[in-house]
């Protein structure tokens, strides 16, 4: 239900709930798996990186297909909710196989179940994000929806870290697997209580790829989103390696991640406030510039500098909420532009495209970083030469800064601000 002040908190909480276990799953896949499968399971770091890149090529097919299905196929009069239920079995099986593998499992096991997880993940998240974009047409309310969802996700990340704790890696991953396998079905059922947007099953008149090619607003946001996603993927993939081999304190990894994501949760109210009062693209740019200024200092750290790195984690974590919440709210504004052109809301197709960009940037950036580290002689199972550790620090701290600065250059003069987006929505509803 809605009231004059916007979406009711009960509806927002219901919709946001599944983001908790989905984020708890995201953390081990993109932070812990490379270290666990290379260190404990004995698979080459470079091979793992290549598998991540190869699986992302599959997303280029499955994500657009899922977006098309979510926009056009209705089940019981609903476009988004049924797909979430259909995705649950595949997610559960794949999570257990990857996080709690049997002795002797190798690269074939890893690659096969990563493919299953990727397909099931796409089936869940593409309609889930499209659903969130359709909960409201208000410029400021869209930021509120995404902040609620991403705050739930940050809570899930912190929960995953607490479960992982200081336990042996296999035990920690098993705890996270149980959280996802139990929590995701329960919270998905709760989410079904939130409303769905109006059904518009007719196809658009203009092919989506042509829109992206001819309209600068679409392409600019997509490219900036990809660059920033790659910037965030590098430290996510290399975090535990950086703490263990650059700072020399493997045990500090868990508490430092908790500090980082805990700070992101504390910063969430700031982004709700800023998204209501200023243009979302300008707030996002300022958050990225702030993150760059803080994060570059990580390159100067060395053995024993855990306290200094903890300060960097907290200060940079405050900016994470902007990365997570503002771009999806801006994407919903872009969908309105296409709705005016095509006559229908192709929300699922657009969010499928952004999903491809997100997962491709994460996997390609992380995969390439792992391959480069292997070329430089880095090993997750032994000591490393100083040159390999400098490459590790550069990929972790400096490369993300360069990528974020490129994203800021694209978005600073972004033309789809509050006034234009509000006028577009008025034309759609009028």
Strongest mean pLDDT among 220-224, 350-354, 397-401: 397-401
Percent of the chain, pLDDT > 90? 29
The residue-averaged pLDDT of 196-219 equals 60
The residue-averaged pLDDT of 269-276 equals 80
Which one has a higher pLDDT value, 112 or 347? 112
Which one has a higher pLDDT value, 392 or 71? 392
* pLDDT band, very low/low/confident/very high, at 416 (cuts 50, 70, 90): confident
CA separation for the pair 260, 314 (Å, rounded)? 5
Asked whether residue 151 carries a pLDDT value surpassing 80, the answer given is yes
Which one has a higher pLDDT value, 200 or 4? 200
DSSP letters along 257-300, please? HHHHHHHHHHHHHHHHHHHHHS-HHHHHHHHHHHHHHHHGGGGG
Which one has a higher pLDDT value, 342 or 405? 405
Q: What is the pLDDT of residue 3?
A: 37
CA separation for the pair 337, 206 (Å, rounded)? 13
Which one has a higher pLDDT value, 263 or 335? 263
Asked whether residue 199 carries a pLDDT value surpassing 60, the answer given is no
316, 298, 320: which is closest to 394 by C-alpha? 298
| DSSP bridge pairs for 7 | 2
Which one has a higher pLDDT value, 56 or 427? 427
Which one has a higher pLDDT value, 198 or 296? 296
Summarised one tens digit per residue, pLDDT across range 306-334 is: 999 999 999 999 888 888 878 888 887 88
| Sign of torsion over alpha carbons 104, 157, 2, 277 | negative
Whether 74 and 130 have beta carbons less than 8 Å apart is answered as no
Whether 94 and 120 have beta carbons less than 8 Å apart is answered as yes
Q: What is the pLDDT of residue 410?
A: 93
CA separation for the pair 426, 300 (Å, rounded)? 51
At how many degrees (to 10) do helices 107-134 and 347-375 cross? 140
The residue-averaged pLDDT of 9-18 equals 91
Whether 157 and 176 have beta carbons less than 8 Å apart is answered as no
With tokens 């701290």, the residue in question is 397
The residue-averaged pLDDT of 4-31 equals 82
* Range of weakest confidence among 225-234, 318-327, 341-350: 341-350
Calculate the average pLDDT of the chain: 84
CA separation for the pair 141, 7 (Å, rounded)? 8
Summarised one tens digit per residue, pLDDT across range 81-131 is: 999 999 999 999 999 999 998 888 888 899 999 999 989 988 998 899 889
Asked whether residue 367 carries a pLDDT value surpassing 50, the answer given is yes
Whether 1 and 11 have beta carbons less than 8 Å apart is answered as yes
DSSP letters along 316-374, please? HHHHHHHHHHHHHHHHHHHHHHHHHHHSS--HHHHHHHHHHHHHHHHHHHHHHHHHHHH
Q: Which residues, in sequence order, are CB contacts of 110 under 8 Å at separation 6+?
A: 37, 41, 43, 48, 51, 98, 101
Q: What is the pLDDT of residue 7?
A: 67
């Amino acid at each position: 239900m809605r009231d004059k002040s916007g979406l009711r908190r009960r509806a927002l909480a219901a919709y946001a709930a599944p983001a908790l276990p989905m984020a708890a799953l995201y953390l081990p896949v993109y932070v812990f798996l490379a270290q666990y499968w290379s260190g404990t399971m004995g698979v080459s770091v470079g091979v793992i990186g290549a598998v991540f890149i190869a699986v992302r090529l599959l997303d280029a097919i499955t994500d657009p297909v899922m977006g098309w299905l979510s926009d056009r196929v209705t089940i019981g009069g609903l476009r988004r909710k049924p797909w979430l239920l259909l995705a649950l079995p595949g997610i559960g099986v794949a999570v257990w196989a990857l996080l709690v593998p049997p002795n002797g499992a190798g690269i074939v096991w890893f690659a096969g179940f990563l493919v299953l997880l990727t397909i099931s993940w796409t089936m869940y998240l593409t309609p889930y994000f499209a659903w969130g974009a359709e909960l409201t047409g208000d410029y400021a309310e869209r930021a509120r929806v995404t902040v609620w969802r991403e705050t739930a996700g940050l809570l899930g990340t912190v929960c995953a870290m607490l479960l992982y704790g200081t336990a042996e890696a296999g035990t920690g991953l098993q705890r996270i697997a149980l959280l996802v396998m139990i929590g995701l079905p329960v919270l998905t059922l709760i989410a079904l209580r939130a409303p769905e947007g109006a059904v518009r099953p007719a196809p658009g008149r203009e092919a989506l790829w042509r829109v992206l090619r001819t309209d600068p607003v679409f392409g600019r946001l997509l490219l900036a989103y990809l660059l920033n996603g790659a910037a965030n993927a590098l430290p996510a993939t290399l975090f535990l390696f950086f703490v263990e081999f650059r700072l020399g304190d493997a045990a500090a990894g868990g508490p430092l991640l908790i500090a980082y994501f805990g700070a992101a949760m504390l910063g969430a109210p700031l982004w709700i406030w800023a998204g209501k009062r200023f243009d979302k693209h300008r707030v996002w740019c300022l958050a990225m510039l702030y993150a760059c200024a803080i994060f570059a200092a990580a390159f100067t750290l060395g053995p024993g500098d855990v306290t200094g790195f903890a300060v960097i984690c907290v200060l940079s974590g405050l900016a994470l909420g902007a990365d997570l919440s503002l771009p999806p709210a801006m994407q919903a504004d872009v969908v309105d532009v296409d709705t005016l052109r095509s006559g229908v809301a192709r929300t699922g197709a657009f969010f499928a495209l952004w999903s491809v960009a997100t997962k491709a940037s994460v996997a390609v950036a992380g995969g390439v970083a792992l391959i480069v580290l292997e070329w430089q002689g880095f090993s997750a199972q032994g000591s490393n030469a100083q040159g390999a550790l400098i490459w590790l620090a550069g990929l972790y701290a400096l490369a993300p800064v360069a990528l974020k600065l490129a994203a800021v250059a694209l978005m600073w003069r972004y033309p789809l601000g509050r006034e234009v987006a509000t006028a577009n929505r008025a034309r759609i509803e009028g």
